[in-house]
Amino acid sequence: MNLFKRHKTLNLYAPVSGHLKPITDVADPVFSQRAVGDGFAVEPTTSDIYSPIEGTVTSIFPTKHALTLKAKSGQEVLLHMGLDTVELNGEGFTILVTPGEKIDQSTQLATLDLASIKAHDKITDILTVISDTDVKLPDITAADVKQGDVIVSQPL
């Protein structure tokens, strides 16, 4: 009997204001085919990027276009800023956190120079991806969202 067993919940928040879309609508097949994991994307309307989870920063890519996070519920989460932005070698990205830092949906992780990223013909989608390919999220419906909106609240 698991009467007092605590159940974990994965809560995912909009990391930026903009247009929410399913991961399957992302213009990169590695993401849209869920090869990296399930998730969602937001086409940003602002430059400030916040944490999509409550947890910890685990690493920052040297090219500043992505961070790995660990959710309080235990999942590894990839926050990927833009498509093919690794080619920019950090140009247009300012990271505001360090590995090991505790974070939640009110923690600003980065600032993007959206004009610079677009000037390099890169897509600015901000992707939140659960790296555990066994985790399947409910269907995401396209909609306009504000930073901090709950996108998914899923019992594990």
Sequence-ordered list of residues with C-beta below 8 angstroms from that of 43, at least 6 positions apart, any chain: 18, 19, 21, 124, 125, 126
Sequence-ordered list of residues with C-beta below 8 angstroms from that of 54, at least 6 positions apart, any chain: 11, 71, 72, 103, 104, 105
Choose the catalytic residue: 7, 19, 80, 120: 80
* 123-130 vs 76-83, strand pairing mode: antiparallel
Q: What is the distance between the alpha carbons of residues 74 and 23, in angstroms, rounded to a whole number? A: 21
Single out the residue of 72, 74, 13, 2 nearest to residue 39, CA to CA.
13
Asked about 80 being catalytic, the answer comes back as yes
* Active centre residues (catalytic): 80
